[in-house]
């Protein structure tokens, strides 16, 4: 194996180790900092939150209102106070409660600025009928609607120009499965914000919300608008910087099932964080769901999809194995050439290339299929880590959750043994003794990293490795048969 191939192979392997090592140690081990209890104005709004707008004049405070909670919707329900603070949502599709997901008694509120130096204020609404509400001081009308899918729509109109802002309030929490509560927002890509991050920006935000334990409480804007945003300890705020006469937004509380989110629109499916391998991850998830329709076991779906992927890439794998076998056969000649022309790099390069051409060996032939498999490998990892469909999905016997680690480390051990066996069968084209030792211990290192990663990922690698072993045996037997036929 030439230096280019060795370097490329080592780069790929080290990249994989860095990725999984980073994921393993990504979340700080220290406990979250204590959070002060969240206080809201739900039960006792101040007098300054109600306003009076004189014709062409400034907003003036009025008498203190009486706190009241409104509920809209039937199967999907939204509860909010008369000052437009959201306190609860229920959705039969969700597996957790609203309070478990948001971590707050009042996780979101809407405020307004009518100018005249009064700043941001809450408005007190009175119910007109089942779906309509009104604030007399600003002459603002609020209309609500909840559709069958679970989207609640809020439409606000006023003859007075206003700015608006949304404030999310929560607190940090982390589970044993490394799921931790974050603020998320989507522009042209997903951005996750930790609870203690301090960030500001100006983006065309399509939706924002609180994400925790495969659930999302979000507010989506009806039209793309450039908004300012700011995050601080346990708070995330986004607000307009220009006046409007109307505002339309949607609230959702859902378990993050990809297909369900896609049916809701507003790019909500992008709350499932598949990372840079999103294109491959979506198709892998669809492939798993396809096999699951026929055999309702995601472990078997992983096996069938793995075999399908290996069959599709089989021609490349075949060429890779044949190329590595040829490289092994010409290693003695290549070593002589390197020794003979070690002081003449140009001649060494020329003689080496002539040898590769004559033997039909390709120094990069063994690396290309491996590089092509890396996106699929990482995408599989992101699907198993991010897709709620595989949470609590059983396989066999002791494996009750493919999104969690193997509790008895059976699959990591089997995977490591299979990788050692494949390594023994793989043509050894590495001359450097240090690199040989590194490659010899690579299955053990990889198995150690994989022991705490999703068991579904171990299953994928184990099955893929077994298929690779069968492929190598087939290539070697075919090569022997060809040699005997030639003789």
Please report the pLDDT score of residue 385 as a whole number: 79
What lies within 8 Å, CB to CB, of 244 at 6+ separation is 161, 162, 163, 164
413 token code pair? 């051990």
172, 180 contact by CB (below 8 A): yes
Closest to 41 (Cα-Cα) out of 97, 94, 81, 90 = 81
Q: Could you tell me which of 314, 317, 329, 318 has the C-alpha nearest to residue 360?
A: 329
> Tokens representing 388?
């709620």
Handedness of CA 377, 381, 387, 390 (dihedral sign): positive
Positive or negative, the CA dihedral 208, 209, 213, 215 is negative
Q: What is the pLDDT of residue 1?
A: 43
**Euclidean distance between CA atoms 314 and 337, whole angstroms:** 33
Question: For 342, phi and psi rounded to 5 degrees?
Answer: -65, -20
Among the listed residues 284, 280, 251, 281, the one whose alpha carbon sits nearest the alpha carbon of residue 266: 251
CA-CA-CA-CA torsion sign (20, 23, 26, 31)? negative
Q: Say how far apart CA 107 and CA 212 lie, in whole Å.
A: 13
Distance CA 465, CA 418 (A): 6
- What is the structure's pLDDT at 156? 96
For 480, list phi and psi in degrees, rounded to 5.
-65, -40
User: pTM here?
Assistant: 0.74
| DSSP H/E element including 32 | none
Task: Give the model's pLDDT for residue 367.
Answer: 63
Token pair belonging to 94: 């969700």
Contact by Cβ (8 Å): 353, 338: no
Determine the Cα–Cα distance for residues 86 and 88; give it in Å rounded to an integer: 6
Query: Other C-beta atoms within 10 Å of 397: how many?
Result: 8
Give residue 268's Cα distance to chain centre. 13
* pLDDT score at 27: 41
Listed as ranges, residues in the chain with pLDDT below 70 are: 1-66, 177, 321, 328, 360-370, 372, 426-437, 475-487
Residue 217's pLDDT is 97
- Of the candidates 8, 12, 20, the one whose C-alpha atom is nearest the C-alpha of residue 446 is 20
């Amino acid at each position: 194996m030439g230096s280019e191939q060795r370097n490329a192979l080592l780069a790929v392997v080290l990249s994989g180790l860095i990725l999984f090592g980073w994921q393993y140690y990504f979340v700080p081990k220290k406990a979250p900092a204590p959070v002060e209890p969240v206080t809201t104005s739900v039960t006792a709004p101040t007098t300054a939150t109600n306003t009076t707008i004189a014709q062409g004049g400034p907003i003036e405070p009025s008498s203190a209102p009486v706190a009241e909670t409104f509920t809209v919707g039937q199967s999907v329900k939204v509860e909010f106070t008369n000052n437009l603070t959201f306190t609860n949502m229920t959705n039969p599709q969700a597996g957790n409660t609203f309070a478990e997901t948001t971590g707050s008694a009042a996780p979101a509120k809407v405020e307004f600025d009518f100018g005249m130096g009064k700043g941001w204020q809450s408005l007190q609404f009175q119910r007109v009928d089942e779906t309509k509400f009104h604030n007399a001081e600003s002459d603002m009308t609020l209309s609500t609607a909840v559709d069958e899918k679970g989207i609640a729509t809020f439409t606000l109109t006023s003859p007075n120009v206003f700015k608006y802002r949304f404030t999310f309030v929560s607190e940090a929490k982390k589970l044993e499965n490394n799921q931790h509560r974050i603020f998320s927002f989507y522009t042209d890509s997903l951005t996750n914000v930790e609870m203690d991050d301090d960030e500001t920006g100006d983006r065309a935000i399509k939706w924002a919300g609180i994400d925790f334990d495969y659930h999302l409480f979000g507010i989506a804007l009806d039209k793309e608008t450039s908004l300012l945003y700011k995050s601080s300890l346990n708070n995330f705020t986004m607000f307009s910087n220009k006046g409007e006469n109307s505002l339309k937004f949607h609230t959702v509380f859902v378990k993050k099932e990809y297909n369900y989110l896609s049916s809701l629109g507003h790019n909500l499916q992008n709350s499932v964080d598949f990372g840079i391998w999103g294109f491959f991850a979506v198709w892998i998830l669809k492939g798993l769901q396809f096999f699951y329709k026929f055999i309702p076991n995601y472990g078997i779906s992983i096996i069938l999809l793995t075999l399908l992927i290996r069959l599709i890439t089989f021609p490349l794998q075949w060429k890779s194995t044949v190329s590595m076998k040829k490289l092994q056969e010409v290693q003695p000649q290549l070593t002589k050439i390197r020794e003979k022309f070690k002081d003449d790099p140009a001649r060494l390069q020329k003689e080496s290339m002539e040898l590769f051409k004559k033997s039909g060996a390709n120094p990069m032939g063994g690396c290309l299929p491996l590089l092509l498999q890396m996106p699929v490998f990482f995408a599989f990892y992101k699907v198993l880590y991010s897709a709620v469909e595989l949470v609590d999905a059983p396989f066999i016997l002791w494996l009750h959750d493919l999104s969690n680690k193997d509790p008895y480390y059976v699959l990591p051990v089997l995977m490591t043994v299979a990788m050692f066996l494949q390594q023994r069968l793989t043509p050894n084209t590495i001359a450097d003794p240090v690199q040989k030792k590194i490659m010899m211990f690579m299955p053990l290192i990889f198995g150690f990293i994989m022991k705490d990663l999703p068991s579904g990922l171990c299953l994928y690698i184990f099955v893929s490795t077994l298929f690779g072993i069968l492929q190598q045996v087939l290539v070697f037997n075919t090569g022997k048969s060809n040699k005997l036929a030639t003789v």
